[in-house]
Chains A and B, each alone.
Chain A
């Protein structure tokens, strides 16, 4: 058994165990911790096939930012009360959901094994840069440089659009998480430069918490 396959299987077990933990744990904080386990497992799977940059991003953005954002919201709302999993709100919901999950899995497996003949999946790449592409001196390009080469040439428009998307997401999050007492309040008056308003020091910490995870 190759080292690659061995690492894949170990990380696979970690991922599946974490995923089951997310779904089955009563407490939201436990679910968030199991989610970290799964995300680290996925980062290992990325490393197994030498996607080094994405493995680093997976740890920084997912485990570092997104799960922390989840934990912030859990703590902020005080939703640390465990859910009673023995209550089934809709009769027959769980068996039906299990059936749907199994059906999705069966469908995907059917497609996977009918598409791959003899364990090999063949096809043509869409972006014209192979993973073993070389630079003019004949050395294989590092993963980060390959990604940069595609993102900043072929995909540069999509890359710029993501900048707009992130800005819109930040503004949307601030607007929605604002604390509005009663009806809509008029916007605060603009003070001349040099004067500071002392009123709105205690603006909602929710906004700060929501923005926190956005920086990455």
Chain B
């Protein structure tokens, strides 16, 4: 019998993997992908609880999270493009100043 707890456990697992990736990887693009993993983990939580509590509110929240995630990726990748153009092959370690 599937319960919302299954969703919460899976989501906790994916969130931890994403957090580990952000801490370990140095390529800014892969760090972004790990942030996407964490956002998806949160979406899983919302969906599981929306189902468990019989309330559409969780699904509405996921809708807004997706919109914000799309905007975040666009702006973040624009920043990565702007930085990479100045210094080829930059890793997150090289990005210690705000001005390019």
Contacts and interface: CB of A to CB of B under 8 A. Distances in A.
Interface of A: 2, 4-5, 8, 12, 15-16, 19-20, 22-23, 28, 31-32, 35, 38-39, 42, 45-46, 48-51, 53-54, 57-58, 61-62, 65-66, 69-70, 73-74, 76-77, 79, 81, 83, 89, 93-94, 96-98, 100-102, 104-105, 108-109, 112-113, 116, 119-127, 129-133, 143, 146-147, 150-151, 155, 158, 162, 165-166, 168-170, 172-174, 176-177, 179, 206, 210, 213-214, 216
B84 to A, nearest CB: 5
Nearest to A1: B1
Contacts of A76: 81
A176 B10 contact: no
Nearest to A28: B29
Interface string B33-67: 11011001001100111111111110110111011
Main secondary structure of the interface of B (DSSP, over half): helix
Nearest to A162: B67
Please name the 4 residue pairs, one residue from A and one from B, whose CB atoms are nearest each other, closest first. A125-B55, A101-B20, A127-B57, A97-B23
Given A45-B44, A176-B79, A216-B70, A104 B15 contact: yes
Contact of B18 (A12, A19, A124, A206): A19
Contact of A165 (B10, B29, B68): B68
B63 A57 contact: yes
Interface of B: 1-10, 12-21, 23-27, 29-30, 32-34, 36-37, 40, 43-44, 47-57, 59-60, 62-64, 66-75, 77-82, 84-85, 89, 91, 93
A93 B24 CA distance: 7
A22 B31 CA distance: 9
Contacts of B29: 28, 31, 70, 73-74, 79
Contacts of B49: 121
Given A23-B18, A98-B20, A108-B12, 4 more contacts: A23-B17, A147-B63, A155-B60, A165-B68
Contact of A129 (B6, B55, B67): B55
Contacts of A12: 6, 10
Contacts of A96: 23
Contacts of A5: 1-2, 6
A61 B70 contact: yes
A100 B59 contact: no
Given A129-B55, A162-B64, A66 B50 contact: no
A79 B89 contact: yes
Nearest to A109: B12
Contacts of B89: 79, 81
Contacts of A213: 70, 73-74
